Amino acid sequence: MAERIVVIGAGGFGRETLDVIEAINAAGGAPKWEIVGVVDDAPAAVNLERLGARGYPHLGGIDATRDILATSAMAIAVGSPATRALLAARLIEAGARFATLVHPSAIVGSQSRIGEGSIICAGVQVSTNVGLGLRVHLNPGAIIGHDAVLADDVSVNPGGVVSGDVSVGRGSLIGAGAVVLQGLSVGEGAVVGASACVTRDVLPRVVVKGVPAR
């Protein structure tokens, strides 16, 4: 029997996550997930409109939907790592169960580990012996090299490349199309700008951009 799932976050990544869930359901056999709807404390009007057009209901905010959340798995589909971590803490306190979602077109190599609550989108490539923490988001087309370790609540935006043996600290964001060269470390809460090429270690909570990234 399909398990109930609620997507947290009515923004663009919320709808992309609905696509991932639908693709998992369509991949063969009985559908794995029954999509109940989307929860968001303060959805923008444009997002409510887009969600309606997508055919899924906005169920309400977290506090108003506690009963629904208690009987469903959840996917936190909020792109901001910091917001995601805060939401997770709030939901874990209420006994949340997080779904781990991997689009069927993603490739995950041998010995790689995917933390609970992670969302891996279409066309992602995860190499061998990669460690993904809790609630890691890999957006479409991201590539993660061999032996890389991404801590909890890391986001790699579309087309981002994390090379082999890189370590990415908790809550960091790797921008769209950015490249982190092999063996480097990106500190906790750091941001790598879109299209940057990271050639040196990035300190915690620092924003870097450009080629080479500064």
Ligand X SMILES: CC(C)(COP(=O)(O)OP(=O)(O)OC[C@H]1O[C@@H](n2cnc3c(N)ncnc32)[C@H](O)[C@@H]1OP(=O)(O)O)[C@@H](O)C(=O)NCCC(=O)NCCS
55: left (phi over 0), alpha (psi -120 to 50) or beta: left
Total residues at the site for ligand X (CB under 6 A)? Answer: 11
Residue from 83, 105, 129, 195 touching ligand X (CB under 6 A): that is 195
Contact 190, 205 (CB under 8 A): yes
The least CB distance from residue 133 to ligand X, in Å, is 20
* Burial environment of residue 48 by CB neighbours within 10 A (0 to 12, 13 to 18, 19 or more): middle
- The answer to whether residue 203 forms part of the interface with ligand X (CB under 6 A) is no
Task: Give the residue ranges of DSSP H helices in 33-190.
Answer: 45-54, 66-70, 81-93
Which of the ranges 67-75, 113-121, 179-187, 190-198 carries the binding residues for ligand X, by CB under 6 A?
Answer: 190-198
Is 104 or 210 the residue whose CB approaches ligand X more closely?
Answer: 210
Beta bridge partners of 21: none
Phi first, then psi: give them for residue 61, nearest 5 degrees. -85, 175
Residue from 200, 210, 212, 214 touching ligand X (CB under 6 A): that is 210
Build a one-symbol-per-residue string for 169-188: x at contacts with ligand X by CB under 6 A, - elsewhere. ------xx------------
Is 60 or 158 the residue whose CB approaches ligand X more closely?
Answer: 158
Residues that bind ligand X (CB under 6 A): 157-158, 175-176, 191, 193-195, 207, 209-210
